[in-house]
């Protein structure tokens, strides 16, 4: 190589310097020695150049050989790694590689756990929906029951009031028709022809009304009116009926627009009142509803009752602000 040749040249120069004679001789001896040394130096330099060139060529060949061997080894290593990766890929595809089976087992375990939790959650959701459905059904049924009872009470009270009014109208019609019939009969008796046959007058017939509930107060008043008419006679019937009607309603009571007027005082929903009945202790209550012909109230113990406006008019019950 060039490095060795350079070192060799330097060593030769040193040798030449070292071998240089120190003592001075004759001029002829010096010339002979100088000529011989120059010839020797020329031969050695030519040998060094050839040796260096030869060594350089050998080194280049050796380097090329090493590079070729390195490339072959690299290709062989690449092929081996590629074959290993292909083999591992085939194992993964076949489901036999440990690197694939272990994570797959963990994933399957997690899947089973989540599936189990989802099933439990589904059952709980279904149970919750069923409970909510049952609650809604029960609430709807209870609401229906309460509304049915309220409707029944409302319709019953309206029918009772209608029956009471029809009963009063029927009684008033019977009284006036009987008085009118008696008056006409008395007039006809005065003008009666003895030779003409008697003609029977058809009585006025009022259609019978079927009742489910009868008011005892109305029946008592009706009995009293009938007795008074029977004792006083037909000519004083009209005046007696009017006086009995005036006596029957001792108080002024009526309902207007959800309010109750009683003896000049107004009562509305939510007010506290004192209810007084004969032979009973007064009770305190709160007005809950005011209808056209009845008043609903709630006592302090929670019980509910109602008063008819007609009962307040007759004086059977009296109320006042508490």
Structure tokens belonging to residue 279: 């032979």
As a 3-state breakdown, the chain gives helix, strand, coil percent values, each rounded to 5, of: 65, 15, 20
- 261 falls within a domain: yes
Residue 79 lies in a domain: no
- Residue 22 covered by a domain: no
Question: pLDDT at position 227, please?
Answer: 65
Give pLDDT, residue 241: 44
| Alpha carbons 111 and 105: distance in angstroms, whole number | 10
Domain of 280 in residue numbering reads as: 250-322
Give the model's pLDDT for residue 310.
85
**What CATH number should be reported for the domain holding residue 304?**
2.30.30
HEC string of 104-161 equals: HHHHHHHHHHHHHHHHHHHHHHHHHHHHHHHHHHHHHHHHHHHHHHHHHHHHHHHHHH
Q: How far is C-alpha 316 from the geometric centre of its chain's CA atoms?
A: 54
The pLDDT of residue 255 is 84
Q: Which two tokens stand for residue 39?
A: 């010839």
Residue 320 lies in a domain: yes
- Asked whether residue 304 is domain-assigned, the answer is yes
- Structural domain count, the chain: 1
Q: How many CB atoms lie within 10 A of CB 43?
A: 9
Residues with pLDDT less than 70, the chain: 1-44, 172-224, 226-249
Crossing angle between the packed helical segments 27-94 and 2-18, to the nearest 10 degrees: 160
């Amino acid at each position: 190589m060039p490095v060795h040749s350079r070192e060799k040249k330097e060593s030769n120069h040193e040798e030449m310097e070292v071998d240089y004679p120190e003592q001075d001789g004759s001029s002829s001896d010096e010339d002979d020695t100088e000529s011989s040394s120059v010839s020797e130096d020329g031969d050695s330099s030519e040998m060094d150049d050839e040796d260096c060139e030869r060594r350089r060529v050998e080194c280049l060949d050796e380097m090329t050989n090493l590079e070729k061997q390195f490339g072959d080894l690299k290709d062989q290593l690449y092929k081996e790694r590629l074959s290993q990766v292909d083999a591992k890929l085939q194992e993964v595809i076949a489901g036999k590689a440990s690197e694939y089976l272990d994570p797959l087992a963990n994933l399957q375990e997690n899947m089973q756990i989540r599936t189990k939790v989802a099933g439990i959650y589904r059952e709980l959701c279904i149970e919750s929906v069923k409970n909510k459905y049952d609650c809604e059904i029960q609430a709807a049924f209870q609401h229906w029951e309460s509304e049915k009872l309220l409707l029944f009470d409302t319709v019953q009270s309206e029918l009772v009031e209608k029956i009471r009014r029809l009963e009063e109208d029927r009684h008033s019609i019977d009284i006036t028709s009987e008085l009118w019939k008696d008056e006409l009969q008395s007039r006809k008796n005065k003008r009666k022809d003895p030779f003409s046959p008697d003609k029977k007058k058809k009585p006025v017939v009022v259609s019978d009304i079927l009742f489910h509930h009868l008011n005892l107060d109305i029946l008592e008043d009706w009995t009293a009116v009938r007795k008074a008419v029977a004792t006083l006679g037909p000519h004083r019937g009209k005046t007696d009926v009017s006086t009995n009607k005036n006596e029957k309603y001792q108080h002024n009571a009526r309902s207007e627009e959800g309010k109750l007027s009683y003896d000049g005082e107004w009562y509305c929903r939510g007010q506290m009142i004192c209810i007084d009945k004969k032979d009973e202790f007064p009770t305190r209550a709160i007005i809950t509803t005011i209808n056209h012909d009845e008043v609903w109230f709630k006592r302090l113990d929670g019980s509910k009752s109602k008063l008819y406006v007609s009962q307040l008019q007759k004086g059977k019950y009296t109320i006042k602000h508490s």
